[in-house]
């Protein structure tokens, strides 16, 4: 029998604002059938007959955009059939402006033990510019309230290389993030996704984005400053105090399987990568009819190997040659020796014993390096 996944991702597609740079699957919450959506979501979750999870992650959208009682319904029903002693990490994403005392009380009595807060920047002007509705003070208020409620495992997301952002402003953001005294930080460079307000502005030449050189300088500064302050740069965009890595995200980068539940959610179960239906009305109807999936892809061995590179090389610890050989039954050296030597000569990869990992330069270029492992 195939081993069942021990991780699950649950998608809440509602937001109280629509940010200009956002390409996630989400809708403005007003007038949406939130209760019906949550019921359908639980129905889909239960269809997998899940009892043993190591990590559970609720993302969005904005999970905390729903009301306190809806949040209670969601958290209670997701965990009612689980053996909670096995659930190592249960994360929920939240936005600073949404965390009312009622919602924090619901989180506190639930099994949630990790909060990922969408801070993005501490600069009020930039927050407005990217379409966020919270302000700097609300960030501090939310972190204080969460700490008071006993949540120590808090992560924040920050975005750098924002339009018009200077190096000094990046330095200020990093200093303010460090002052929060939390164990985990994710830092993303602003990626201009299609179909966003930002992309349209960019096309019309109205976005003054930092040059690539300045962006690289910002990335270097962030890494150096965080490492100086006891953080480990364990994945391209993620930094952790010792032992506080996101176990759920590590699961993705280890290329493990997981359930994905909710409108537009992706999952990976029994060697099949699938994506659920969107928009919400289509998802509701599909769950009603007993199959939420829009598409399924049975991965070939080649595709699995490519994914192993794309995901594994994002981690600082890289890829183990032995693990790769055992998993795919081939000689690593024979198949990839030449490509690896080339990338090592270019200063993008380094080999240490059994492990192959990115250099600093390689990490900055990210997927461009992993692409070299795709054989035509
Ligand atoms: S960035 Fe987050 S809060 Fe903003 S629209 Fe996208 S999902 Fe919603």
Identify the band that residue 5 occupies on the pLDDT scale cut at 50, 70 and 90.
Answer: very high
Q: What is the pLDDT of residue 368?
A: 80
Say how many domains are in the chain: 2
Q: In ligand 1, which atom is closest to the CA atom of 65? A: 3
Q: What is the CATH number of the domain that holds 333?
A: 1.10.10.920
Q: What is the pLDDT of residue 172?
A: 98
Is the preceding peptide bond at 279 cis, omega within 30 degrees of 0?
yes
Q: What is the CATH number of the domain that holds 44?
A: 3.80.30.20
Whether the per-residue pLDDT at 203 is higher than 70: the answer is: no
Residue 302 domain-assigned (yes or no): no
Whether the per-residue pLDDT at 250 is higher than 60: the answer is: yes
Residues 215 and 360 in one domain: no
Residue 268 domain-assigned (yes or no): no
Q: Is 65's C-beta closer than 6 angstroms to any atom of ligand 1?
A: no
Q: What is the pLDDT of residue 1?
A: 46
The region of weakest confidence among 142-146, 300-304, 352-356 is 300-304
Average pLDDT score over residue span 342-354? 94
Identify the band that residue 192 occupies on the pLDDT scale cut at 50, 70 and 90.
Answer: low
Residue 243 domain-assigned (yes or no): yes
264, 275 contact by CB (below 8 A): yes
Residues 236 and 357 in one domain: no
Q: What is the pLDDT of residue 193?
A: 63
Residues 248 and 322 in one domain: no
Q: Is 126's C-beta closer than 6 angstroms to any atom of ligand 1?
A: no
Q: Is 196's C-beta closer than 6 angstroms to any atom of ligand 1?
A: no
- Among 197, 245, 244, smallest CA distance to 20 is for 197
Residues 321 and 249 in one domain: no
b vs e for 234-244, b when ≥16 Cβ sit within 10 Å of the residue's Cβ?
bbbbbbbbeeb
Residue 296 domain-assigned (yes or no): no
Q: How far is the CA of 20 from the centre of ligand 1 (A)?
A: 9
Residue 156 domain-assigned (yes or no): yes
Average pLDDT score over residue span 124-144? 95
Average pLDDT score over residue span 42-54? 98
H-run or E-run covering 364:
helix 360-365
Containing domain of residue 197, as a range?
Answer: 7-253
Give the end of a domain, one of 253, 271, 301: 253
How far CA 40 is from CA of 231, 284, 325, in Å, comes to 40, 6, 41
Give the end of a domain, one of 233, 253, 273: 253
Q: Is 20's C-beta closer than 6 angstroms to any atom of ligand 1?
A: no
- Residue having the nearest C-alpha atom to atom 2 of ligand 1: 61
Give the end of a domain, one of 237, 253, 269: 253
Which comes out higher in pLDDT, residue 309 or 267? 267
Nearest-10 crossing angle of helices 212-228, 167-179: 30
The region of weakest confidence among 194-208, 244-258, 268-282 is 194-208
Residues 202 and 69 in one domain: yes
Identify the band that residue 375 occupies on the pLDDT scale cut at 50, 70 and 90.
Answer: low
């Amino acid at each position: 029998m195939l081993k069942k996944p021990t991780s699950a991702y649950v998608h809440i597609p509602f937001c109280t604002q629509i940010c200009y740079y956002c390409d996630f699957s989400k809708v403005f919450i007003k007038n949406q059938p939130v209760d019906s959506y949550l019921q359908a979501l639980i129905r889909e979750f239960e269809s997998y007959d899940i009892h043993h999870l190591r990590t559970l992650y609720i993302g969005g959208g904005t999970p905390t955009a729903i009301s306190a009682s809806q949040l209670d319904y969601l958290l209670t029903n997701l965990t009612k059939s689980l053996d909670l002693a096995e659930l190592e990490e249960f994360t929920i994403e939240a936005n600073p402006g949404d965390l009312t005392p009622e919602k924090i009380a619901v989180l506190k009595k639930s099994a949630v033990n990790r909060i990922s807060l969408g801070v993005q920047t501490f600069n009020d002007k930039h927050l407005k510019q990217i379409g966020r509705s919270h302000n700097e003070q609300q960030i501090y208020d939310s972190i204080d309230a969460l700490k008071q409620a006993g949540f120590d495992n808090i992560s924040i997301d920050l975005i750098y290389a924002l339009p018009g952002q200077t190096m000094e402003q990046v330095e200020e953001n990093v200093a303010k993030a460090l002052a929060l005294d939390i164990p985990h930080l994710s830092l993303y460079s602003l990626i201009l996704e299609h179909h966003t307000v930002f992309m349209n502005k960019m096309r019309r030449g109205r976005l003054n984005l930092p040059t690539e050189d300045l962006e690289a300088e910002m990335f270097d500064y962030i890494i150096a400053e965080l490492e100086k302050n006891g953080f480990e740069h364990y994945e391209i965009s993620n930094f952790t105090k010792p032992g506080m890595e996101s176990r759920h995200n590590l699961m993705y980068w280890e290329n493990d399987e997981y359930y994905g539940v909710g409108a537009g959610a992706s999952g990976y179960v029994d060697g099949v990568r699938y994506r659920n239906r969107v928009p919400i009305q289509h998802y509701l109807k599909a769950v009603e009819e007993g199959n939420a999936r829009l598409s399924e892809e049975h991965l070939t061995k080649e595709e699995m190997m490519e994914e192993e590179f794309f995901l594994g090389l994002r981690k600082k610890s890289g890829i183990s040659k032995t693990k790769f050989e055992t998993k795919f039954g081939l000689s690593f050296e024979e198949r990839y020796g030449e490509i690896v030597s080339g990338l090592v000569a270019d200063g993008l990869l380094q080999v240490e014993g059994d492990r192959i990992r990115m250099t600093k330069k390689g990490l900055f270029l990210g997927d461009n390096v992993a692409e070299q492992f795709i054989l035509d």
